[in-house]
Structure formats: structure tokens, C-alpha cells
Structure 1
Amino acid sequence: MTTTDTNNVAAITIAGAIAEAAAVLRQAGIAEARREAGSLLSHALARDRTFLLTHADDALSPDDLARFRAFVSRRAAGEPLQYISGRQEFYGLEFEVTPAVLIPRPETELLVETALEHLPMNGAPLVCDVGTGSGCVAVALLNERANARAVAVDISPAALDVAARNAERHGVRARLALLAADGLTALDPRGARFTVIVSNPPYIAEEEIDELQR
């Protein structure tokens, strides 16, 4: 990125790029178009929002602009912002998300809070997370309970790969066992007894998907 060159009339500044993208996203029906435009530019430049504000008059390089416009096109076509950026915050932690997993939703934090009420801060509680996806619930619980261990189950090996990386990112991988299985079918009922079993399966009906906010 370079400072705006007054001799280069084609140069687009950070502020101009955000305005352009916001117009595109607004036309596509994105509710918070300007905020998402800023988030996409932050991702394209690998810079935070403060940088965008304090360097609003800087011009984007051709490569940065092309990358940003590609992100905007994907978002305008309906791809979730979180899949484009590859991350989502959940329970105060940042998680990797890919199309192999569902995007953690804010209301799922209630599941974590409820489970924590049943997980003692002493002893060695054991959690089972069925349909773990990104691993957000299991990882958040282990992050809150340093004495706990967890078994995370998912039928998708690709989802388990994402969960493993998230557990590694937040320093709980050694306390998390990952199991490829359909629900509880692979667990031995004569084996370890779980303190808490949690699950947050998909709960949006197919006929409602098209009505969701883009």
C-alpha cells in the first residue's frame, strides 16, 4: 500500500474502496453493508479496523484492491462473511471456520453457560460434545475449566480437522479427544461416565434458510 499519488487518478483510497464496496453489498441486500465492507478490507489487508480509520486516505495497491473486490463479489453472491474471513468470535475466543463446519452463533453461548453450571471447578469432569463442528463449544468449556477433559464427536473428518486446529490454537488440544462417529454410536456405554453431554446440532429448517439474513 502506498500514500495516494495525486498524479494517479485511478488510485482508490481505503475510504473510497469501503464506500464502493458498501454500495455493492447494499445493492445485494446485505443489511450492514458498510460494516461488512470494512471487515472484508481488514481481511484483505491483514490489518485491523483502527488501521483503516487512521489510513483512510492511503491508496490501495492493485493487488490489494483486486483481492478486496474478489472478497466483496463473494459476499454479494451470498457467501457468509465468516467463510470468507475464515474466522468467527465465540465466547470471547476467535475460531477458525470453513464450509466444513457451521458458523458458531451467539445464542449457542447459552449452551456453554448452562454446561459450565454443571462442571465443577475441582476434580476431573469429563465432557462429551456431540456434533462438535468447529469445536467451539468443547474448546470454550475447556478454556473455562482447566481441570476438565472432553471428547468431541462428529461424523465429518473435515470438521474434526477444524476442531483440532481450534483446540490447538487455544491451548486445550491435549485435553480434547476427537472421535469420528455418528452421534453417540461409537461410545462404549461401559466406558467413562460423562459429567456433561452437550450438543448443538443444526436447528434451522430447510424451508427457512432462504429467509435468513444474508
Structure 2
Amino acid sequence: MHEARTYKVQLGIASTRLKSAGIDRPAREARHLMQHVCSLSATDLINRETDLMSKAETEAFFDLIERRSLGEPYEYLTGEAWFYGLKFACSPATLIPRPDSEVAVDEALARLPLGRVSKIADLGTGTGCLLIALLKQEPRLTGIGIDLSSAAIDIARRNVDAHSLGDRAHMHAMSWRDWDGWGEADLIISNPPYIRSEIIDTLDESVRAYEPHSALDGGASGLDAYREIIALAARNMKPGAWVVFEIGFDQADQVRLLLETAGFSSISVAVDTGQRDRVVSARL
């Protein structure tokens, strides 16, 4: 048990612990976790650094530090993640929103007609971050998020409410196979499971041990979800509607071929900030 010490001293101990565990930016993460546990702003923490932490705060803080040192993602410890400049609730029922996915929002926005009412569908919505980011950028958009996980949909609904979008976004726990709104969507966006099954066990510990495998595992080829969504979209979407997919860095050619074979056109590939293929877009 850590004895009663000042915020500054406990912060130093925690930073050293995280550094020894190989955590990048250990001092920054320790500070943010302390702010989270103690409900302090950055300024508050500076002003109180010579005060003693309470026993309850100390226990809660070092519990998170130990969990973080074992590899549990920071975002799951705090229950929060930032995406497209917006804060989202997240949990182990959802993937953690990541900056690489922001290019999918950019690509979707570039394909929506300006100033017109449009309907978006986000398949495998998770936290709802893709759909919510789109709706926050364009006030005339409405949308639906679909996820097979009811626990993920609970998180997505919390995010819809937090961003005051309850009148424009609706989240449903169901399979996209059972969804009957394909013909109403002007654009479908999706970050589906795309990692090959055999690769799952080789992923970084923070992903493999904590993030939901159902949102990662794309089958033997990593393409199962794309095949299914593209086939359903080709049969049921209206002419002129768009699909925007996040993809694995090495999947652009395969997803492009699936779209071409299904009759899609205007196919393009966009890269993320690391200059890796990240999004494929196409029009029916």
C-alpha cells in the first residue's frame, strides 16, 4: 500500500512505474490518470501538488497505474477517447477510436452533397465516433448506427446523448444482414473487422488482450465483412449512393477488386497520416 504522500511525490512514483513498464510518455499519462481519478484540472493539480492525496485517491490512482503498466489501454482506464476533436465514451465492448480513422470521416464528407439533407449509415458503429463526427460537421445529416453488440450500442447511445444528437442519430443492436434501410442511405461508412484470424494472436498486447476480437477478426482473409457489406450494398442501395470503408494498410487492391466486381465505380483510395492506405470509397 502506498503511504500518504503529496500529489507531486505520488506522481513521480507513478511516472517511474510506467517508465519501467515501457509506457511511452509515462509522466504525461501518470498526470492525466491522476487528474482523472482526483477530478482535477491541470491547473488544479499544479496548485495542489504539495497537498497530501487522500487514502481513497491514492488507492484508486495506483490501481490504474498498475493496470496501465500491465498494458491495459489508457482509454479503457478512463473510459474516454478523443476523435475528430470530440470526446467519446468507450469501453472494452468497443474498439478505441484512433486518429487513423479520421480520414474516413474526411472522405465521407468530401462525397456528400453540400447543403442537402442526406442519410448516413454506420455499420459496426462501436462508439459511434464515425457517424457522430459526420453529424457534428454537417447539421443537415441524419444517420443510423448498427452494431451486433448491445454493449457497444449502449456506449454509442451515451455518445449520441453527450453530443446532443438524439434527434438526428439512432443506434440499433442488430446485424447489418437484418437491416432493411439500405435503400434509404446516401452513404454507408464502416470500419469493419479486417484483421486476418491468424494474425490476431500476434497483435500488440494492448489490442489483443483488451479490445473486442469480434470487432477485429475479419476471417481467414480479413475480407469477410467487406464481401458481405459490398454484396448487400450492391443489391439494395440506391444508384449514386456511396460506400466508405476503413481498410487494413495492405487491403486496398483486394477491396477495390471486390467493389469493381460488384459494379461500383469512382473507386478511390486515401492514405492516413502515416501515408498508409486507410480508406477505400466507391459509388454505386
TM-score (norm 2): 0.67
Contact 2:124 2:190 in 1 (8 A): yes
**Following the alignment from structure 1 to structure 2, what is the Cα–Cα distance between the partners of residues 187 and 11?**
55
- Check the 8 A contact 2:132/2:160 in 1, yes or no: yes
Kindly report the root-mean-square deviation, in angstroms, between the aligned alpha carbons of the 2 structures: 1.9
Alpha-carbon contact 2:18-2:68 (below 8 Å) kept: yes
CA distance in 2 between counterparts of 1:14 and 1:201 reads 42
Deviation readout 1:82-133 (Å, 9 max, x if unpaired): 1110101111111001111010001111111111111233221010101000
* Corresponding residue of 2:249: none
Q: Percent identity?
A: 35
Does the CA contact (< 8 Å) of 1:164 and 1:178 recur in 2?
A: yes
Q: Equivalent of 1:75, from 68, 71, 76?
A: 68
* 1:16-55 alpha-carbon deviations (Å, 9 max, x no partner): 1111001111111212111110111011101122222232
The answer on whether the counterparts of 1:128 and 1:196 sit within 8 Å (CA) in structure 2 is yes
Whether 2:191 is the aligned partner of 1:200: answer yes
Partner of residue 104, structure 1: 97
1:72-151 to 2 correspondences below 5 Å? 72-151=65-144
2:223 alignment counterpart? none
**Alignment partner of 1:177 out of 170, 174, 182:** 170
Whether 1:16 aligns to 2:12 is no
Q: 1:163 to 1:211 in 2, by over 3 A?
A: closer
Q: Give the structure 1 partner of residue 26 of structure 2.
A: 33
Instruction: Answer 1 or 2: higher relative contact order, Cα 8 Å, separation at least 6.
Output: 1
Contact 2:120 2:142 in 1 (8 A): yes
Q: In the aligned structure 2, how far is the partner of 1:207 from the partner of 1:93?
A: 31
1:59 CA displacement? 1.4
Can you give the 5+ residue segments of structure 2 that lack an aligned partner in the other structure? 210-284
The letter of the residue matching 1:200 is N
1:30 partner amino acid: I
Structure 1 residue runs without a partner (length 5+): 1-9
Change (3 A) 1:203 1:30: farther
Give the SS at the match of 1:117. Answer: helix
How far apart are 1:136 and its partner, in Å? Answer: 0.5
- Aligned residue pair count: 203
Partner SS state of residue 112, structure 1:
helix
- 5 Å-filtered alignment, 1:52-63, equals 52-63=45-56
Quote the Cα distance in structure 1 between the aligned partners of 2:43 and 2:202: 37
* One-letter amino acid of the structure 2 residue matched with residue 136 of structure 1: C
* CA–CA distance in structure 2, aligned partners of residues 176 and 133 of structure 1: 14
Indicate conservation of the 8 Å contact 1:121/1:147, yes or no.
Answer: no
